[in-house]
């Protein structure tokens, strides 16, 4: 029977088995495909799942506003993970794929991040990620792309949750080299990656079981890969932002264990669709202020300066406590928070900042 795994030693055991088996050997699996620069993304096919790759996620972040103009941030993520076991097992109970989901709400009134996580094995129509278009389900949590291109999110857990409609206003942004996104110095350290910025959002947030009407804007990322990060990687810093002038900014750096960065990248697309890409040496993340978590004692650079070429962005968090403890699903603790952006001390936009590897170095 498929069920929620609120405490799942099975996941920890699985990760241990994968490590013992040798990550490099798994990356060369005949069943799983590598990411190559010659692939051309095609829609709506690539909106859907890609079961020939190890890891895949649909990731939505955004800013909402209540009817009394109070700001909220939200995060929705669905992961599909190929276990590399049981693929020759004909049993319907064989755990060939895992579906993992995170739900989070940044509410200044609460003073901390509200979040939930779930993990189940795919199957029996109760958990799946379908090919051909976005259609992901984990129990009663769903993310579906509809015929008109709008996304519907329905995720509730007890007295907390959200039900949102997200309408695209711009074409997909193919990251890096037409969707081939480098993540390190080696060619195989890459993913397929596109974004949909400036989604118009409307719907309902549930807090303490009470519905609250909201509207706002969001950013969607869809990424899939088979390779792991460079072994020298310690974690990453990432930002996706909807800018006030209709532009879209995405930037990340993968930090090295001995300091510095393994890789970095940024893309800035203006409202007319003109795209500027930035090489690793043109992208820098500089901490301005840190916050120490009272939950895990991890210290995060929650306020940042980011340089993309000659442009400097200042990121300020909606609130400091936006740490997400997902050790029961993805075995990680990370900071994922709503931030405002300024440029030349003038308001520039709103987005989300992700900080990983600060509670402990990532083991990938």
Instruction: Return d(Cα 103, Cα 86) in angstroms, integer.
Output: 29
Strand partners, 268: 249, 276
> If pLDDT is split at 50, 70 and 90, which confidence band does 25 have?
very low
CA separation, residue 132 to residues 43, 48, 50 (Å): 9, 5, 9
Over range 257-283, report the average pLDDT: 95
Identify the CA nearest to 291 among candidates 335, 340, 354, 350: 335
- Which residues, other chains included, contact 87 with Cβ-Cβ below 8 Å and sequence gap of 6+? 31, 94, 96
> If pLDDT is split at 50, 70 and 90, which confidence band does 187 have?
confident
Alpha-helical segments (H) within 178-225: none
pLDDT of residue 228: 77
pLDDT of residue 338: 97
Strand partners, 194: 174, 222
Over range 231-244, report the average pLDDT: 93
> If pLDDT is split at 50, 70 and 90, which confidence band does 337 have?
very high
Instruction: Return d(Cα 242, Cα 247) in angstroms, integer.
Output: 6
pLDDT of residue 156: 92
The pTM (predicted TM-score) of the whole model is: 0.87
Instruction: Return d(Cα 102, Cα 155) in angstroms, integer.
Output: 10
Instruction: Return d(Cα 178, Cα 42) in angstroms, integer.
Output: 11
Worst-scoring range by mean pLDDT, 32-36, 168-172, 215-219? Answer: 32-36
Over range 344-355, report the average pLDDT: 96
pLDDT of residue 360: 72
φ, ψ dihedrals at 11, nearest 5°? -65, -45
pLDDT of residue 307: 98
Peptide bond preceding 17: is omega within 30 degrees of 0, i.e. cis? Answer: no
Provide, rounded to the nearest whole percent, the portion of the chain with pLDDT above 90.
Answer: 70
Over range 226-231, report the average pLDDT: 83
In the predicted model, is pLDDT for residue 363 greater than 60?
no
pLDDT of residue 241: 98
pLDDT of residue 14: 42
In the predicted model, is pLDDT for residue 7 greater than 50?
no
pLDDT of residue 291: 96
What SS3 state is found at 208? coil
pLDDT of residue 120: 87
What SS3 state is found at 12? helix
Please state, rounded to an integer, the average pLDDT across all residues of the chain. 87
Homologous superfamily (CATH) of 9-24+45-356 is AttH-like domain (2.40.370.10)
In the predicted model, is pLDDT for residue 16 greater than 80?
no
Instruction: Return d(Cα 310, Cα 181) in angstroms, integer.
Output: 22
Tokens 């069920």 correspond to what residue? Answer: 3
Helices vs strands, H then E, count in the chain: 2, 23
Domain boundaries, the chain: 9-24+45-356
281-293 pLDDT, tens per residue? 999 999 999 999 9
Identify the CA nearest to 225 among candidates 3, 17, 39: 39
77-120 pLDDT, tens per residue? 999 998 765 555 555 545 578 899 999 999 998 888 889 999 88
pLDDT of residue 231: 82
pLDDT of residue 328: 60
298-336 pLDDT, tens per residue? 999 999 999 999 999 999 999 999 998 876 656 678 899
pLDDT of residue 232: 83
Identify the CA nearest to 56 among candidates 21, 18, 94, 101: 101
φ, ψ dihedrals at 305, nearest 5°? -110, 130
In the predicted model, is pLDDT for residue 353 greater than 80?
yes
pLDDT of residue 24: 40
CB-CB contact of 283 with 75 (8 Å): no
More reliable by pLDDT, 93 or 357: 357
Over range 244-248, report the average pLDDT: 97
> If pLDDT is split at 50, 70 and 90, which confidence band does 209 have?
confident
What SS3 state is found at 300? strand
Calculate ∠ Cα 279-75-95, nearest 5°. 95
- Which residues, other chains included, contact 128 with Cβ-Cβ below 8 Å and sequence gap of 6+? 99, 122, 135, 136, 137
> If pLDDT is split at 50, 70 and 90, which confidence band does 15 have?
very low
pLDDT of residue 153: 98
CB-CB contact of 306 with 324 (8 Å): no
pLDDT of residue 318: 96
């Amino acid at each position: 029977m498929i069920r929620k795994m609120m405490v799942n030693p099975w996941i920890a055991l699985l990760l241990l088995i994968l490590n013992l088996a040798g990550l490099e050997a798994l990356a060369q699996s005949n069943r799983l495909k590598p990411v190559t620069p010659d692939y051309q993304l095609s829609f709506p096919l690539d909106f859907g799942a890609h079961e020939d790759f190890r890891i895949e996620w649909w990731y939505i972040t955004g800013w909402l506003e209540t009817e009394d103009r109070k700001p909220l941030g939200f995060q929705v993520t669905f992961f599909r993970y190929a276990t590399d076991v049981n693929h020759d097992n004909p049993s319907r109970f064989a755990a060939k794929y895992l579906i993992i989901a995170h739900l989070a709400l940044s509410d200044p009134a609460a003073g901390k991040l509200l979040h939930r996580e779930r993990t189940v094995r795919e199957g029996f129509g109760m958990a799946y990620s379908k090919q051909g278009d976005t259609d992901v389900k984990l129990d009663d949590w769903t993310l579906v792309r509809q015929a008109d291109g709008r996304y519907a999110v329905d995720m509730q857990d007890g007295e907390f949750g959200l039900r949102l409609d997200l309408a695209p206003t711009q074409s997909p942004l193919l990251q890096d080299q037409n969707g081939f996104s480098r993540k390190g110095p080696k060619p195989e350290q890459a993913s397929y990656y596109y974004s949909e910025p400036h989604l118009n959002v409307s719907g309902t947030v549930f807090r303490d079981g009470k519905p609250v009407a909201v509207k706002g804007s969001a950013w969607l990322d869809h990424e899939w890969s088979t390779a792991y990060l460079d072994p020298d990687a310690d974690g990453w810093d990432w930002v996706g932002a909807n800018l006030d002038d209709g532009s879209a900014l995405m930037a990340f750096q993968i930090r090295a264990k001995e300091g510095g960065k393994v890789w970095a990248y940024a893309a800035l697309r203006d409202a007319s669709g003109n795209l500027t890409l930035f090489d690793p040496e043109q992208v820098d993340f500089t901490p301005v202020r840190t916050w120490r978590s009272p939950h895990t004692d991890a210290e995060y650079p929650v306020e940042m300066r980011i340089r993309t070429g000659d442009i400097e962005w200042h990121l300020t968090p909606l609130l400091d406590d936006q740490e997400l403890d997902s050790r029961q699903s993805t075995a990680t603790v990370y900071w994922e928070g709503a931030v405002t952006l300024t440029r030349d001390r003038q308001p520039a936009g709103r987005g989300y900042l992700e900080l990983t590897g600060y509670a402990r170095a990532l083991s990938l």
